[in-house]
Structure 1
Amino acid sequence: MRTLVLLLVVTSVLSHCTFWHPSTFDCDRANGNSDNLAQPLQDYTFDQWWWHGNLKCPPADGVVFNLPANGEAVVELSSNKAFTSDYCGGYRGMNFPNTPEPWAGNELSNIHAVNREDVAGCAFAIAYKSDPYQVQPSDFVVFSVVHDCIARQNQSFSIPNLPACPNGKCMCSWFWIHKSIGGTDQMYMTPFVCNVTNAKSDAAAVDVANAQPPRKCYDPSSCTMGPRNPMYWKNERPNMPEEGHRAPTYSTVYGWREGAQKDIFVNTNPYTYASKSTPVERKCIDAKLNTEGYGSRIRSDNTSTFLVDGGAAIVSPNCQYICYVEANSGSIMVVNQTDGNALWYGSAQTRGLSPYTLKVLPDGQVNNYDKSGNIQWSTPMTQGVGVGPYRLDITDGGQLVLSDALGRNRWENYFFDDRENKFLSTSPDPAVWGNGDATIHTVGHSDASIIIAGWAMVLIALSFF
């Protein structure tokens, strides 16, 4: 009988993964062979996935996970409690405390990364509330990210200069979304009680009031940084617009720096909450590739820039890509002018209702209307998010990027060739980002100018085994 039980445990360990500690909310706490917290969250109602459904099962009074400000916190990751230390309730110990070498993909199927490069990243987030029932999804702000996760069971997280928690207790959570290439689309959330230790008395507050939902940014220069919420996906009340099999990840593709997120505070958030001058529109000046002299931008405050099928288009500044609304079908096309291949298109729900018109609205929504004014296509999760006016640009990389008046990326199309998922988790952060350790001083009440000090253009060398 004991042999049978162990076989069942081994089967379980090759399924999913989570963070284990006595501070977690866990309705299966007494079970040493539990995989409750490691179960993926997908296609659930809000009450089912929020807090992993364990809101009514808090840890014992006084049990917290300590986060040393400006230090490191080491956690245990496993798909079954049995494969953790005695302290975390396990009885078999960790089988992969460090990164396996060589990488045995089939043996590590619990992390959905058959190949070493498919590891996609995990994160810690904090909510400065001591009562879990008062925490809302927007209260969480991500404060540490490990791109090379999950790759080992002993995982260290770098902690930024977090301020102290109210009453010595905050709510935290571990988050993970693996690449879609690793299997079924899934989200993981494991809440726990935490406390910030060694907090400095003058530590700036986390700028939760201005935290944003993360957005994909294939071009690293277009990434929206600063305080951001975790990525809630594939369940009721998501904040991520990605379709199935195009999983968002805690990676550079979504603007996540490796390690401590230093730009999440009220004095380091790179945005000033005041409109900035719109960047000058760049245009293709090659008369052969842009015979009509089209621009590269559609604006919510300029109706003359809207696209009508069979009429106007926008062309990338380097002249290589063109976007237009296809006559009769109503599809929004992004095409490579060199070879005629479509990089992406957004299909109208109903064909044959010309003319179709693509508009950027004052509230941030981008809609494609048919002749009767019915919406045939629209950008997901952009309405009312951000500050107008908005602009939709076609970039030199052949992408449509929607930005608000603060310069924040609100939406961009994906590529049919899935190039976004070809990033390597062991690559360094883009040099254009700096390290995010800046102090920002706003000049005057409505002055949009800012003084940024301390940007160090460094590459973070990620170590891997």
Structure 2
Amino acid sequence: MHLSALLVALTCVSTASAHVALWDKGMFGLNYPYQSDDPSNNNYNNNEPVIPLKQVDARSTAGWFGHGLLSFPPKSGDFMVLPSGGTYNGEVSCNRGQTTLGDPNDKTAKYQYACRPDGGQYSGVGALHVMNAYNGTVDNKWFGGSALAIAYTSDVNSIKPNDLTVISVKQNSVWERQISYQIPAGLPPCPAGGCLCTWNWIHQGGHGEGYPNEIYNVMYRCQVTGNTNSANVVQKGAIPNKCDGNPSACVKGPKVPMYLWQADGNNLPDLDTPPNYKDNWGYADGAQNDVFKPAATPASSTPPKATATALPSGWKALGCMTDSTTTRALPGVSSSDANNNTIQGCVASCASKGYLFAGVEYGQECWCSNTATLTAAASTECNMVCPGDIWSNCGAGGRINVFASSNAPTSGEPTTVPASSLPSGWSDLGCIVDDQSNRALNGGSSTSSNNTVQSCIAKCSAQGFAYAGVEYGQECWCGSTARLTAASSGCNVACSGDPSYVCGGSNRLNVYSSKSSTSSISASASRSTVASTSTISSKVSTSTSSSKAATSSSSSKAVVTSSSSSKAAVSSSSSKAVVSSSSKAVVLSSSSKPATSTSTSKVVSTTPLAAPTSAKTSTTTTKVTSTTSIKPSTTTTSTTTIKTSTSTSAAPAATTSLPAGWVSRGCYVDSSSARVLTGSMDSKTDMTYAQCIAICTKKNMPYAGLEYGKQCLCGTSMVSPTSATGCTTPCAGDASAMCGGFNRITILQQTSTVKSRREWNGERGQPPY
């Protein structure tokens, strides 16, 4: 083969991977594939050292360290010369032939830029990764910087990647062919066989190259000349860290070069965003004059392992959990820091604000909460690197690493205080709706970061109040009277002073009463879990009252107003009440003194707007007159109203608060990206069921949906409905009714569009009721 043909063939081969390297006579692989001292073969067109070390190639340490060319040493006596206290001048190019180390017979001028500017085989943005075009301009944001590093050994067989220490950085590289590096003064001279040095570059990706995750690493035999100092020692470097916008967080002192994306031998994890030899990774531009100070944590010669993240005292990791916008693992508050988010910082922040759970997600997000809904996911699915701590993972998309305080409820949710832990004489009335315009308890409130159920009861009892309620974790409410509407959910915020137990929620109270104040409230009516038929009986002494009774269900609501300061005629501890559809209830109290007082109670049964069952309902009004002996010539009258839901599983439930021809379908998951009802949205500050139904009726749509208290959506059908709990936000215009919630919608339907069970025969799924 003629020489010209050989050169053409070599040229064609080299075009596939035309990138750059720092060329020097002390380079390993300078004459590849021949040895440098081969007298008969000179590969002046060599471009092997410029081939990027790509993640996709998955090279072992022997294949990438020194570009895998350590068996091709420089010619004996050839060294890269580094003038201590001076400047090293070298050449960066896509090919040996474009440098002064190319063919000595080639007298053409060398190019200004690292790669040929004429659109030829070794030119193009893909080679440099920084050029706008070959017109003398450059886009500085693509500069990742490059670095020279040194190890004071000449034994190429024993050197490890972390044995090298960076001594000089050129931040605005690579660009032009000629490049210079400032060398620290006072470097010690090398041993007799010279030192070993490397050139390191990590391009920034996304600017014309085919594969972004790649590094460059070339090795040289080197000598230190000039202003040397044998008394100094270049210390082993530490592994750098990303410290964008926070210089105090950067690793100080000597640092090693950065290696990643290879099969093994890396000292950094595989990052999505390439690291820089710049200030945001702790590398100053120019000579690294801090290389003589010992590093706080020198890098080991073996690849480092991630260490456990330091957590505040009492905190522990719970693992990787699933998360979604509809069902948050930690339904609290969140913040985002794309540059500095860490596990330690997130947990410390949540702990300082009094939260019991902390979580890191999608790399940059930090979540804090007092409750948790935890569904475990594989640990490998939480695989996004924390931007402020590259050795730790901060969740992923839809995955969150969760951490918990020792005070956090083990189930993820706080529980109600057991009856045995309540002060003597007090009982639990359950979770109650609190309307800010018409408070459930009328005696005012206080707030404490140490609020507990017991401390609140003690506070209210000391002031002579018969009712105590805890709300939103920190609030304590007292009352001599109570307006009680039972809530099926929403009491889910941990007590600030005892996070194992729940202290109400948003617009929700956990209410407690002294036994003397509960005479007009049956236990079944005040709780959200009530038997379908309750029995109440009492000793009878003087007067009676009879009525037809209503059945009660688990979704009962109770409204109680009391102005009596006397002991009640009927209490949960001393009486029983019989309530059934065919019996008369007689409620009396024992009398020990001649004077009496008379109290009149009205019991009203209604149906809640929950998901309807196939139940028939009844509404019954019961007047109960009780006679109580207090003391001579003293009488007191109290009036109590109890709303009790009634339903069985036999027929569709009706509702007295909906316009004729409409029924409730219950609570469903909803989101802005996946609407259950796809019609337009209306919003009113006084929204009610009736108003939303009127809006949808005008649009000729048979479905009405209420969300977040004041939003009304309409539709002709329900799209992929998923039933749920969480419709706990009171309607803006009717606090006694629930109008959906966050990503929850209460659905109402026109009865003329409801299929009968017969119409559903043969169709997939179940009928709506």
Shorter-normalised TM range: 0.5 to 0.7
Separation in 1 of the partners of 2:92 and 2:170?
Answer: 13
Give 1:31's aligned residue: 43
Query: Cα distance, 1:201 vs. partner?
Result: 3.1
Give 1:96's aligned residue: 112
Give 1:121's aligned residue: 145
Give 1:395's aligned residue: none
Question: Is 1:218 aligned to 2:234, yes or no?
Answer: no
Out of 173, 176, 182, the residue aligned to residue 149 of structure 1 is 173
Once superposed, what is the RMSD of the aligned Cα atoms? 4.5
Separation in 2 of the partners of 1:125 and 1:411?
Answer: 27
Out of 228, 233, 244, the residue aligned to residue 260 of structure 2 is 233
Give 1:44's aligned residue: 59
Query: Cα distance, 1:242 vs. partner?
Result: 3.3
Give 1:164's aligned residue: 189
Give 2:126's aligned residue: 109
Q: Which runs of 5+ in 2 are unaligned?
A: 37-41, 118-122, 133-138, 299-308, 322-328, 351-356, 398-769
Query: Cα distance, 1:63 vs. partner?
Result: 1.0
Query: Are the equivalent residues in 2 in contact too, given 1:263–1:270 (CA < 8 A)?
Result: no
Separation in 1 of the partners of 2:128 and 2:95?
Answer: 12
Deviations 1:253-310 (A, max 9, x none): 21110011111113xx57499xxxxxxxxxxxxxxxxxxxxxxxx8436233757875
Query: Are the equivalent residues in 2 in contact too, given 1:85–1:93 (CA < 8 A)?
Result: no
Query: Cα distance, 1:80 vs. partner?
Result: 0.6
Out of 214, 224, 235, the residue aligned to residue 196 of structure 1 is 224
SS of the residue 2:92 aligns to: strand
Give 1:250's aligned residue: 277
Amino acid at match of 1:193: R
Amino acid at match of 1:149: S
Amino acid at match of 1:212: A
Higher relative contact order (CA 8 A, sep 6+): 1
SS of the residue 1:253 aligns to: helix
Amino acid at match of 2:93: S
Question: Is 1:12 aligned to 2:11, yes or no?
Answer: no
SS of the residue 2:214 aligns to: coil
Change (3 A) 1:307 1:314: farther
Change (3 A) 1:169 1:379: farther
Query: Cα distance, 1:233 vs. partner?
Result: 1.5
Out of 198, 203, 206, the residue aligned to residue 173 of structure 1 is 198
Query: Cα distance, 1:214 vs. partner?
Result: 2.0
Query: Are the equivalent residues in 2 in contact too, given 1:225–1:270 (CA < 8 A)?
Result: yes
SS of the residue 2:179 aligns to: strand
Query: Cα distance, 1:90 vs. partner?
Result: 8.6
Q: Which runs of 5+ in 1 are unaligned?
A: 274-297, 336-341, 347-351, 357-369, 382-398, 403-408, 417-465
Separation in 2 of the partners of 1:109 and 1:72?
Answer: 29
Q: Computing the radius of gyration over CA atoms, which structure comes out larger, 1 or 2?
A: 2
Query: Cα distance, 1:58 vs. partner?
Result: 0.8
Out of 42, 57, 82, the residue aligned to residue 72 of structure 2 is 57
Give 1:276's aligned residue: none
TM-score, L = length of structure 2:
0.37
Change (3 A) 1:179 1:378: same
Separation in 2 of the partners of 1:378 and 1:111?
Answer: 35
Give 1:288's aligned residue: none
Deviations 1:88-112 (A, max 9, x none): 87945531258999xxxx7443112
Amino acid at match of 2:50: A
SS of the residue 1:47 aligns to: helix
Give 1:260's aligned residue: 287
Instruction: State, as a whole percentage, how many aligned pairs show the same letter.
Output: 25
Change (3 A) 1:171 1:202: closer
Query: Cα distance, 1:400 vs. partner?
Result: 6.5
Change (3 A) 1:34 1:413: farther
Question: Is 1:354 aligned to 2:365, yes or no?
Answer: no
Change (3 A) 1:192 1:88: farther
Separation in 1 of the partners of 2:178 and 2:387?
Answer: 40
SS of the residue 1:167 aligns to: coil
SS of the residue 1:191 aligns to: strand
Change (3 A) 1:90 1:72: farther
Query: Are the equivalent residues in 1 in contact too, given 2:94–2:114 (CA < 8 A)?
Result: no
Query: Cα distance, 1:5 vs. partner?
Result: 4.8
Query: Are the equivalent residues in 1 in contact too, given 2:93–2:115 (CA < 8 A)?
Result: no
Query: Cα distance, 1:237 vs. partner?
Result: 2.1
Out of 95, 98, 106, the residue aligned to residue 83 of structure 1 is 98
Separation in 1 of the partners of 2:83 and 2:276?
Answer: 26
SS of the residue 1:132 aligns to: coil
Separation in 2 of the partners of 1:167 and 1:191?
Answer: 18
Give 2:584's aligned residue: none
Give 2:311's aligned residue: 300
Separation in 2 of the partners of 1:215 and 1:65?
Answer: 29
SS of the residue 1:181 aligns to: coil
Change (3 A) 1:317 1:133: closer
SS of the residue 2:244 aligns to: coil
Out of 59, 63, 86, the residue aligned to residue 71 of structure 1 is 86
Separation in 2 of the partners of 1:234 and 1:135?
Answer: 20
Query: Cα distance, 1:354 vs. partner?
Result: 2.7
Amino acid at match of 1:239: N
Query: Are the equivalent residues in 2 in contact too, given 1:323–1:334 (CA < 8 A)?
Result: no
Give 1:139's aligned residue: 163
Deviations 1:331-377 (A, max 9, x none): 95459xxxxxx95589xxxxx99366xxxxxxxxxxxxx6xxx7456
